[in-house]
Amino acid sequence: MAVEKTVLTISDITRQIKQSLETSFPRIWIQGEISNFKQHTSGHLYFTLKDEGAQLSAVMWRSRVANLTLVPEDGMKVIARGSITVYPPRGNYQIDCDQIQPVGIGELQLAFERLKKKLAAEGLFDPEHKKPIPEYPGRIGIVTSQTGAALQDIRSVLLRRFPSVEVILVPVRVQGIGAAEEIAAAVNDLNRYGKVDVMIVGRGGGSLEDLWAFNEEVVARAIYDSRIPVISAVGHEIDFSIADFVADLRAPTPSAAAELAVKDRSELIEVLRNMWYTIHRNIEDRVSSLRDSVAGFVTSYAFNRPKDLLRESSQRVDDLERGLLVASSHLLQLAERNQRALGQRLEALSPKSVLMRGYTIVRKKGEIVVSSDDLDKGDVATLQFHDGTVTTRVEQ
């Protein structure tokens, strides 16, 4: 019995291989040396990655070239990230790169300087953009490795200097493939959380390769876009990273970052104690000075002059009152004497006194007769004596 043969076309088998490869290797990191590098007029990059035993075609499309921190060259050792794809017209497989990182001190330093120059030109390092670090943060976010010594150093310093401060850790990888993306994502997550006052981003010391995640553009832009102030703490004092230039404050070590983030509680308490003592002493001195001033003012001539004037006026009133009493008494006595003298004169001149001396008052019809011519023979007249009256008739 004949076995039926399955015959595939070149396109069919290429399609199956393409599907199998692209499904099995959706995104990988590959290390190799660049050769046959070309930049097409379209802007796309074409090159080969090779090592001692094999080589692989590579392509990077123009839309991704702008994100490169280096200019690829033949002989440069790099790590490339991308997906394995098959190009059917040639029947060969290739890596479609979306990221290329240098390997080796020379390439890394070159990439560092290029990215630094690029970001500086865009203004990411400008002092005007840097935010002030809060003086008394209540909550601090930390972006570093959960198992690294940097975290222990930071926590130790914070516990010693200001134990009441709250720490929120966002654990990330701090070196190796994918570390930069994790660091940038952690910075963005803390900004979305929004409940931290300041952020420490960093790790302990290491080689340039170990620290490279903090030289990635994605980390630099995440720090630049952060609304929360960022203190960078990457490596040792002699190490500088792109993150250091972008951050709002650079600390030489993670321990130094913790010291910059919080005040020393004991020093702060001593400062407050000195302030209280100074204020208390100043108030006492001020009160004492004011008390002396008041005492001097109270005993001063100007302050006491009104009282003197009041006493003088009161004494003057008393003198006037006494003078008034004396004068009025004198006037009353004089008036009484005058009254008695007038009384005596009036009494001496009164008709009754005259009548007592033997005189009489003659009235005719009630009218006083002052002349004998006023009386005629036969008139009736009334004679008033001092002790009574009599009626008489004129005979002649």
Q: pLDDT tens across 9-20, in order?
A: 888 888 888 888
Q: Which of 278, 284, 237, 282 is nearest to 257 (CA)?
A: 237
Mean pLDDT in residue range 130-159: 94
User: What 3-state class would DSSP assign to 317?
Assistant: helix
Residue-wise pLDDT tens digits, 308-334 = 778 878 888 888 888 888 888 888 888
Percent over 70 (pLDDT), the chain? 98
For strand 388-393 and strand 92-102, is the pairing parallel, antiparallel, or unpaired? unpaired
SS3 readout for 118-160 = HHHHHCCCCHHHCCCCCCCCCEEEEEECCCCHHHHHHHHHHHH
pLDDT digits (tens, 9 = 90+) for 236-251: 877 789 999 999 999 9
The pLDDT assigned to 4 comes to: 66
Residue 359 has φ and ψ, to the nearest 5°, of -85, 155
Q: Does the pTM of the predicted model rise above 0.85?
A: no
167 token code pair: 């720490």
Instruction: Judge whether 19 and 25 are in contact, CB under 8 Å.
Output: no
Residue type for 195, please? Answer: K
DSSP 73: -
Q: Is the pLDDT of residue 1 over 60?
A: no
CA distances from 106 to 76, 78, 169 (A): 10, 11, 34
Dist. CA 35–CA 47, nearest whole Å: 6
